[in-house]
Amino acid sequence: MVEAARKVAEQIKAVAGRILEVPAEEIDLADRQAWAPDGRSVTFAQIALNSLHHVHQHQIMGIGSWVSPDSPPPFAVQYAEVTVDTQTGQVTVKKLVMVLDCGMIVNPQTATGQVEGGLAQALGYAVSEEMLFDERGRMVNPRFGDYRIATADEMPEIQVRFVQTYEPTHPFGAKAVAEIPLDGVGPAVANAFYDATGVQVQTLPLTPERVWRALHATKK
Which are the catalytic amino acids?
179
Which residue(s) pair with 97 in the sheet?
79, 159
CA 120 to chain centre: 10
Closest to 85 (Cα-Cα) out of 187, 202, 207: 207
Yes or no: say if 43 and 35 are a contact pair by the CB < 8 Å rule: no
Fill in the amino acid letter for 174: A
17: CB partners within 8 A, 6+ apart: 23, 24, 26, 27
Yes or no: say if 197 and 135 are a contact pair by the CB < 8 Å rule: no
Closest to 51 (Cα-Cα) out of 22, 3, 4, 8: 8
Yes or no: say if 38 and 45 are a contact pair by the CB < 8 Å rule: no
Q: Report the distance separating Cα 191 and Cα 128, nearest Å.
A: 16
